[in-house]
Amino acid sequence: MKKPTPQPKAVSPPDKTAPAPAPAAERKSAPLLILISAPSGGGKTTLCNLLLAANSGMTRAITCTTREPRAGEREGVDYYFLEAENFLKRLQAGNFLEHATVYGHSYGLLRSELTGKLGEGHDVLLNVDVQGAATIKERALEDPELRRALVTVFLTPPSLTILEERLRKRGADAEAVVRKRLAVARQEIAQWKNFDYLIISGSKQADLRQMLAIVEAEKMRTTRAQPGHF
């Protein structure tokens, strides 16, 4: 008796209704306070702009200043523009997490600017110099919410020679200013060990890929998992 030819087993089509793994931006994790610092000409502003464009769940921390708005600048978008007297009152009240005076104008980052946006569930991006980064890290030690959220990243060119080429290519500064910026940059680059992450700058897209990888990794830390995640 001839045995029947075995038929191939039917394979069920994939369940198209099954949910795909949630992208990092949709996972239920505590919001991040991403601080990016770099020497002058290191490309941190460009990286910050690319990161904001690539991550809809991230918002920029807005700084207060006593200087007049420049053409195209908007209140509450580029800066919070304050009268000098108002700025001083806030400073004396301890409202600023970090502040500085640059070319006769005061600049300051309100603690409420960070805690408010973090409290709303937004990742917050900070673009600060090395000195400002050190101050914010110190203040965060006194605040459990900020300490938990803070992630620090240092961006630097591969060498001072490349940084010098970038500064000269901009053509925005006199020779004496370029030399001063390079001298300061040497001191700033020496602080890279005080940051959580180090990015050796390459192309704009390569820097962005590394930055997105950092955000992804920090989102998956067990210490950031929100109650009721599972």
CB 223 within 8 A of CB 148: yes
| CA 87 – CA 109 distance, rounded (Å) | 11
Q: Which helix (DSSP H) or strand (DSSP E) does residue 101 occupy?
A: strand 96-102
CB 29 within 8 A of CB 47: no
Name the amino acid, one letter, at 183: A
pLDDT in tens, the chain (230 residues): 555 554 444 433 334 443 344 444 455 789 999 999 998 778 899 999 999 999 999 999 999 999 999 899 999 999 999 999 999 999 999 999 999 988 789 999 999 999 999 999 999 999 998 989 999 999 999 999 999 999 999 999 888 888 877 777 766 667 777 788 788 888 889 999 999 999 999 999 999 999 999 999 999 998 887 766 55
Q: What is the pLDDT of residue 27?
A: 53
Q: What is the pLDDT of residue 229?
A: 56
* Rounded (to 5) percent helix, strand, coil in the chain: 40, 20, 40
DSSP one-letter code for 79: E
CB 97 within 8 A of CB 147: no
Q: What is the pLDDT of residue 163?
A: 80
The CA–CA distances, whole Å, from 37 to 124, 131, 132, 146 equal 14, 9, 9, 17
Q: Decide: residue 52, CB within 10 A, 0-12 exposed, 13-18 middle, 19+ buried.
A: middle
Q: Does domain 31-222 have CATH number 3.40.190.10?
A: no
Q: Where are the domains of the chain?
A: 31-222
Q: What is the pLDDT of residue 158?
A: 86
The CA–CA distances, whole Å, from 74 to 78, 81, 148 equal 6, 9, 31
Q: What is the pLDDT of residue 99?
A: 93
- Residue 205: phi and psi, rounded to 5, are -70, -35
Q: What is the pLDDT of residue 15?
A: 41
For residue 37, list its beta bridge partners: 154
CB 127 within 8 A of CB 62: no
